[in-house]
Amino acid sequence: MTELVTTELALRALNDFRHEVSQMPKDAIELLSVERRLHEQLNALGRALMKEVFERADATSSEVEISGGAWGNRQVTRGTYTTVFGEVSVNRSTYQQRGRGRVAIPLDLRLGIVEGSYTPRMARIMGRAVGLMPEHDAEALLHEIGVAMVSVSTLHRIPRAIAARYEQKRDIIERSVRDLDAIPAEAATVQVSLDGVMVPQDGELARPRGRQTSEPEPPRHAQRYEMSAQPTPADDDGTTGRSWHEASVGVLHFVDAEGKSLKTIYLARMPEPHKATLVNLLGDELDAIMLERPELNVVFASDGALGQWLALNDMASKLPSNHQGHAMGIVDFFHVAEYLTRASTAVWGQNSPEARVRARTWGEWLKEYDDGPTRVLKALRYQRDRMNEGKRLEELLTAIRFISNQNNQGRLAYAEAKRRNYPIGTGVTEAAAKTVVNVRMKRAGSRFSQHGGQTIMLFRCAVLSDRFNALMNQMHADYTRTVVESIPKVA
């Protein structure tokens, strides 16, 4: 721990350093050394000033009232807090309720100290850091910068604890975050979409990581927030090491009347049956949007996965009665284009000019003509009736079945969507899978526990959705309580 000096001593040392710099020969200034030493001086001053802040926030009366409850039996203990300037130790008051063993620390509650030791700004830095990079990289970067310097273990533990607290009150926190996030005034349409993405996890027979004990205790966040271990696909998949399971991502993508992209809200959840939590979150987001902007058009979009369309169709059926906009479902055009390419390849051969031209032509029919799906299916069936080769015919039949099924569901109205300036692809959703999961969670050797992976997704989605400030402000509020000190009675 860095030795703490008083504010006066820190200011004096800073002034002495300033004088030293003024006497340095111009050609002998080693800027790297000077900058580092100055940073150390400023951190020392920051620690001294933060100590004054902590002491100012402490309670000194014999009794306090916290959330309507009376606390007494005041004691003074030593506490250490981690700030962006380094660790600061102070004497602070603790209180107990009569007949109970729990201890309350007014300093912590007034300032919103996170997990008993970390300032709100430290919590923000750690949350953002693990959302953007692995803990080892974050530790190295923070030490290079010279602020908010914490260990890998701390970067592993504290964001997970914050995320556990978030999960405990997810519905309330998400509602508040949504209320603070403005829908673009120019928005005319919102595209609602979801998809799956594979994440690496531990198989149930994988060798445990970390400190080896015969009876390992649950992680601290699980103990503190009473998180029972939820069943996950990795529990009994029969693998003996790293295994892969399907997580889920969802987006709400706003565009203006001309189809120009305005804003995207990202959601992601670790693997679970039927993507249940992700679907609920996506539905809650859409409900809030419709409550505020019932005139918006809604486009439900996905690839051809049945489960995803069941979820989207359920959302569509629950649009409010006062919804004034247009609503439609549309399957990702580029997914359909892949089937068109498979069909043309089956007929004219791999990479043949004819196959490329026909696939492109069929795609243009879908986008330009209201009866485009009928035209395409007629052309495909004509080619089917002329074929008699088993494997190539099966490829063509697969394409026909997919396109016919999507057409029967009314999801191929690309010409209408283009006239309305709706997005006809799910590129934003595909990008979400890449930016939320692939970039951060598929590095060499990576594998994630259910809660560890969800922690990364929580902070990463908040950053990408420009909701990080709102999320962390809500978490800060949840760590904060009003403390009222008793006024001594006059005899």
Give the Cα separation of 216 and 17 in Å (integer).
51
C-beta atoms surrounding 178 within 10 Å: 19
Burial of 112 (0-12, 13-18, 19+ CB in 10 A): middle
Q: Is the pLDDT of residue 14 over 70?
A: yes
| Mean predicted lDDT score pLDDT of the chain | 92
Q: What is the DSSP string of 216-255?
A: PPPPHHHHHTT-PPPP-GGGSS--SSEEEEEEEEEEEEEE
Distance CA 308, CA 465 (A): 22
Q: How many CA atoms lie within 13 A of 181 on its CB side?
A: 26
Residues forming beta bridges with residue 79, ordered by sequence position = 90
Q: What percent of the chain has pLDDT over 70?
A: 90
Q: pLDDT (tens digit, 9 = 90+) per residue, 380-398?
A: 999 999 988 788 999 999 9
pLDDT digits (tens, 9 = 90+) for 154-193: 999 999 999 999 999 999 999 999 999 999 999 999 999 9
**pLDDT value of residue 217:** 64
So where are the chain's domains?
Answer: 7-24+31-163+474-485, 182-326+420-466, 334-419
Furthest C-alpha separation in the chain: 107
Q: Single out the residue of 250, 277, 275, 274 nearest to residue 264, CA to CA.
A: 250
As a whole number of Å, the end-to-end CA separation of the chain is: 46
Q: In what order do the strands lie in the sheet with 242-255?
A: 261-269, 242-255, 189-202, 297-302, 327-331
Q: Contact 321/291 with Cβ under 8 angstroms?
A: no
**In this structure, are residues 482 and 66 in contact, taking their beta carbons and an 8 Å threshold?**
yes
What is the residue-wise DSSP string for 92-146?
EEEEE-TT---EE-HHHHHHT-BTTTB-HHHHHHHHHHHHHS-HHHHHHHHHHHT
Residue 490 has pLDDT above 60, yes or no: no
103 pLDDT more than 80: yes
Strands, E assignment, 283-396 = 297-302, 327-331
pLDDT band at 68 (very low <50, low <70, confident <90, very high): confident
* pLDDT score for 397: 96
What does the pLDDT look like over 243-256, one tens digit per residue? 889 999 999 999 99
pLDDT confidence bin for 205, thresholds 50/70/90: low
pLDDT class of 46 with cuts at 50, 70, 90:
very high
**Residue whose C-alpha is closest to residue 84's, from 57, 56, 55, 114:** 114
- What is the predicted pLDDT for the residue at 23? 94
In single-letter form, the type of residue at position 456 comes to I
How would you label 14-52 residue by residue, b for 16+ Cβ within 10 Å and e otherwise? Answer: eeebeeeeeeeeeeeeeeeeeeeeeeebbbbbbbbebbe
Contact status, residue 396 vs residue 385, Cβ threshold 8 Å: no
Taking phi first (over 0 means left), then psi (-120 to 50 degrees means alpha), and beta for anything else, what does residue 126 get? alpha
Instruction: Name the residue with tokens 């692809």.
Output: 425
